[in-house]
Amino acid sequence: MTITTAHLSVSLDGFVAGPNQTMADPIGRGGLALHQWHFDADEPGHEVDARWTAELLRPRGAYVMGRNMFGPVRDAWSTHDGDWRGWWGDEPPYHAPVFVLTHHAREPIEMAGGTTFHFVTEGLERALELARTAGGGDVDIAGGASTVRQALRAGELDEFAFDIVPVLLGSGERLFDEGIRAGFELLEGEHSPWATHVRYRICH
Amino acid sequence: MTITTAHLSVSLDGFVAGPNQTMADPIGRGGLALHQWHFDADEPGHEVDARWTAELLRPRGAYVMGRNMFGPVRDAWSTHDGDWRGWWGDEPPYHAPVFVLTHHAREPIEMAGGTTFHFVTEGLERALELARTAGGGDVDIAGGASTVRQALRAGELDEFAFDIVPVLLGSGERLFDEGIRAGFELLEGEHSPWATHVRYRICH
């Protein structure tokens, strides 16, 4: 059975990005701290983080991504359709089809290493349907937070992994907003000094 | 050296209580779920939760508490000074002096089992000073969240333990509000199906 997952790093006060997100600083002031656990995962003492980096990067059949995760702000890439190819350089870390939600139809972009960005204008459900068919394996909702929340609300998410980073960002983009209710069943959890990692099955 | 601690249970979306807190339901709709891990700590399979219940309840020299934690709403006990003796019955679980922040001077109340409620009108710093002197041991800020935040902002908190409960309450009283920034150093952490427990030293 293929499942649909999400895996996000979040501060102890619930932010997935700091304030003042810009083109030069897409995860906002202080936001880099949320990702240090996997940037440093190769270093000695980071064995726990290395295992969770492997979980984060394990191959999936396909991905779904919101348009703000693909491009910095809605206009920067929708008005430069032919130019913007995502944040990740020539060889993005996905190595699979990535279905990007957008209001602007666009031809697919084939990148090095097996990643192809497809643009879906018919909404999340349609993107998930395409991803489940195209990939033949698990589908990960890569982000951003609003797309993950939309999937959670729609009952489309089977597993959710969090890396809870012990820092308070004070403001920024929240993972959860008001009005989302759900229950979670623990699958596994580990602690490192850099993050508390936990993976849940979602109880619909 | 005596230290000042706080230990709070929080939902995955950052709430310490659900919405619609009332006299009959002081932790709000859904809020009870945040405390089930220690209510059930004696049951088989709850060994991890039992250890963290022991940490939560370990004897302290004294406690500091906000007035909304002592009484249901500000007027219910300030206008009935002689009646309201806290939520905990004749023998509260503190067994030590408890310094309650209030705007209304009131004589101390001696309860069974060693708990005495003292009322402090001169603010948090004064309450902490009294608690550190009176108790001769660690001081715990029992709650509520706003009093803990105030202590964190003032640099008065040395350790902070969280029980992160895998449920989304969707709304209610947040543990952290905007604008608090801090760093944390992991001291210990464990997972149970009912809560992810973690204790940090606070980096001032």
pLDDT in tens, B129-185: 999 999 789 999 999 999 999 999 999 999 999 999 999 999 999 999 888 877 899
Q: Are B104 and B88 in contact (CB under 8 A)?
A: no
Q: Are B172 and B18 in contact (CB under 8 A)?
A: yes
Consecutive H or E run containing B109: strand B109-110
Q: How confident is the model at residue B4 (pLDDT cuts 50, 70, 90)?
A: very high
N-terminal to C-terminal alpha carbon distance within chain B: 17
| B184 contacts on A by Cβ (under 8 Å) | 12, 166-167
The C-alpha atoms of residue B117 and residue B100 are separated, in whole angstroms, by 7
Q: Which residue has the higher pLDDT, B162 or A78?
A: B162
**Can you give the pLDDT at residue B168?**
93
Model confidence at B204: pLDDT above 80:
no
Q: Are B32 and B25 in contact (CB under 8 A)?
A: no
Model confidence at B76: pLDDT above 90:
no
Predicted ipTM?
0.86
The C-alpha atoms of residue A183 and residue B13 are separated, in whole angstroms, by 11
Q: Does B37 touch chain A (CB under 8 A)?
A: no
Q: Does A189 touch chain B (CB under 8 A)?
A: yes
Q: How confident is the model at residue A23 (pLDDT cuts 50, 70, 90)?
A: confident
Domains (range + CATH), chain A = 31-177 (3.40.430.10)
Model confidence at B52: pLDDT above 60:
yes
Q: Which of A23-27, B61-65, B71-75 ranks highest by mean pLDDT?
A: B61-65
> Mind listing the pLDDT tens digit for each residue in A113-130?
999 999 999 999 999 999
Helix axes A145-153, A124-135, angle to 10 degrees: 90
Residue A67 — left, alpha, or beta (φ > 0 → left; ψ -120 to 50 → alpha)?
alpha
Of A12, A52, A175, A184, which to mutate for an interface test with B (greatest number of B Cβ within 10 Å)? A12
Nearest to A183 by CA among B45, B175, B28, B34: B34
**Can you give the pLDDT at residue B73?**
54
Q: Are A35 and A9 in contact (CB under 8 A)?
A: yes
Share above pLDDT 90 across residues of chain A, in percent, rounded to a whole number: 76
Which residue do the tokens 């060889």 mark? Answer: A91
> Mind listing the pLDDT tens digit for each residue in B6-34?
999 999 999 999 998 887 788 899 999 99
The C-alpha atoms of residue A133 and residue A127 are separated, in whole angstroms, by 10
**Can you give the pLDDT at residue B72?**
65
Q: Are B61 and B142 in contact (CB under 8 A)?
A: no
Which residue do the tokens 């979602």 mark? Answer: A202
Model confidence at A136: pLDDT above 90:
no
Q: Are A195 and A38 in contact (CB under 8 A)?
A: no
Measured between CB atoms, which of B179, B191, B200 is closest to A166? B200
The C-alpha atoms of residue A155 and residue A52 are separated, in whole angstroms, by 25
Q: Nearest-CA distance from A120 to chain B in Å?
A: 29
Tokens of B169: 């309450």
Consecutive H or E run containing B80: none
> Mind listing the pLDDT tens digit for each residue in B98-132?
999 998 888 999 999 999 999 999 999 999 999 99
The pTM score is 0.90
Nearest to B175 by CA among B167, B188, B164: B164
Measured between CB atoms, which of B168, B183, B184 is closest to A182? B168
The C-alpha atoms of residue B46 and residue B50 are separated, in whole angstroms, by 6
Q: Do B170 and A189 touch (CB under 8 A)?
A: no
Q: Does A172 touch chain B (CB under 8 A)?
A: no
